[in-house]
Amino acid sequence: MSDRSTNRAYLSLGSNIEPEQNLPAAVRALTSFGRIVAVSNVWESAPFGSHGANFLNAAVLLETELSATEIYQQAIVEVERQLGRVRDPHDKNAPRTIDVDLSLFNHDVFEWAGHRVPDPEILKRHFVAVPLAELDPDYVHPTEGRRLADIAASWRSSPGLVGRPDVRLR
């Protein structure tokens, strides 16, 4: 994990409770922890492994002096708290106001408190890969050696992923 230099944190966002309000609110809240360099488009998909309304997903590239651990302990916890995230210990896929995940951090590879970076979901879920690729298409996945644009390209024509240009993150 990197030290006190400027770090690049690639954050994946998702919401299926008032997502049109909660995704932009999450982006605004993240500005307290660094500088937003890029935001993706918003994408809609059916809930994966859960019930409830469709999810809206997006991604944010945050330049920050925070370490990856501090992002988990401070930024993610605070943004999810501000937006009323409730975690159901019996249903990890329950509907939520906001979900913030650290998907990539610089070009680091690590595990912290059960979280893996790079997030394995990048390779498994279109709603994670496509928004991240919009942030930095030439970023080379640290363990796969493939550009994010190439990873996302295999998902772009997948059914069930719909662009939502009506939802603006900033």
pLDDT in tens, 42-53: 999 988 766 678
> What's the pTM value of the predicted model, to 2 decimals?
0.92
57 in Cβ contact with 127 (< 8 Å): yes
pLDDT in tens, 103-137: 999 999 999 888 899 999 999 999 999 999 999 99
Domain map of the chain by residue range?
7-163
- Name residues whose C-beta falls within 8 Å of residue 36's C-beta, 6 or more positions apart in sequence: 27, 30, 60, 61, 62, 170
| C-alpha 114, offset from chain centre | 17
**Structure confidence at residue 84 as a pLDDT band (50, 70, 90):** confident
- DSSP 3-state of 101: strand
CATH code of 7-163, in short, is 3.30.70.560
Look-up: residue for tokens 């210990």?
89
